[in-house]
Structure 1
Amino acid sequence: MKIAVLKCDEPNTGKFIGSEGRIIEIKKGRYILNDTSHPLYSDKELYFKRIYCLEFKNKKIYFLNYYGNTEHPVKGIHIGLTKWQNHKFFWIQNKHWLQKEENIRYLVNVLFLILGAYIAIKNIK
């Protein structure tokens, strides 16, 4: 999945003016910028973070750290993801809510509950 890097209008304003022209390629567990691979998560922590207070053209803004470096939180890039790209991003990283076993079990239980209620109502008539 390829995404454009966002460019800030001025530092610390939270305003974006569009893409810088740089493109990153997101793969499982990493992203590639200028032929350099940067990790997105480790076993214990994530190296990307959604910034809820920022918005650009109805996109969800994420901050990706360079080289998985969490000591310097200002070193990284911002990307904007549409709703579809956001789901695809989490699906590639195996972090989507549909990929968790407890959520799949919950959906199956709800499906059986609805099916049982339908059969019960159909047999009443």
Structure 2
Amino acid sequence: MRIKLLEGDGFNTGKFKGYLRNQYIDIKKGRYLKDDISHPLYSEKEFYFKRIYCLEFENKKVYFLNTFGKTDSQKGFHIALSEWQNQRFLWLQNRHWIQKEENIRYIVNLLFLVLGAYIAIKNIK
């Protein structure tokens, strides 16, 4: 998935000027590529990206991606994702709600409940 980088409007203003010209990153499973350099997005215990809930750009969700897997670093990139891009991004990073075990169990139990209710109603007639 190829995403354009955002350009900030000064230091700590909370505003973005727009997209950087010809500056892209490629998001892969567990990493992203910037200028053919691979940066991790998560390890076993921590994530090197975070969603910035207080920022929006063109009604898109804004994420901050740390460079080289450093969580204490202030260096990184901001990206803005549409709803579809956000779902794909979360899926690639194993953070989508449907990939969690308890949600899968809930969906399967719900399907069995609906199937059982259908069979019960069908047998009443």
Other structure's SS at 1:67 match: coil
Unaligned runs of 5+ in 2: none
Alignment of 1:39-118 (within 5 A): 39-72=40-73, 74-118=74-118
Counterpart Cα distance in 2 of 1:70 and 1:94? 19
**2:30 matched residue in structure 1:** 29
Amino acid at match of 1:56: F
Counterpart Cα distance in 1 of 2:124 and 2:80? 52
The Cα shift of 1:68 comes to 0.9
The Cα shift of 1:114 comes to 1.7
The Cα shift of 1:10 comes to 2.0
Q: Normalising by the residue count of structure 1, what TM-score does the alignment of the two structures yield?
A: 0.91
- Identity of counterpart residues, as a percentage? 67
Unaligned runs of 5+ in 1: none
Report the RMSD for the aligned CA atoms in angstroms: 1.4
The Cα shift of 1:16 comes to 1.1
The Cα shift of 1:124 comes to 3.9
Count how many residue pairs are aligned between Structure 1 and Structure 2: 124
The Cα shift of 1:48 comes to 0.2
Other structure's SS at 1:68 match: coil
Larger mean CA deviation between 14-23 and 115-124 belongs to: 115-124
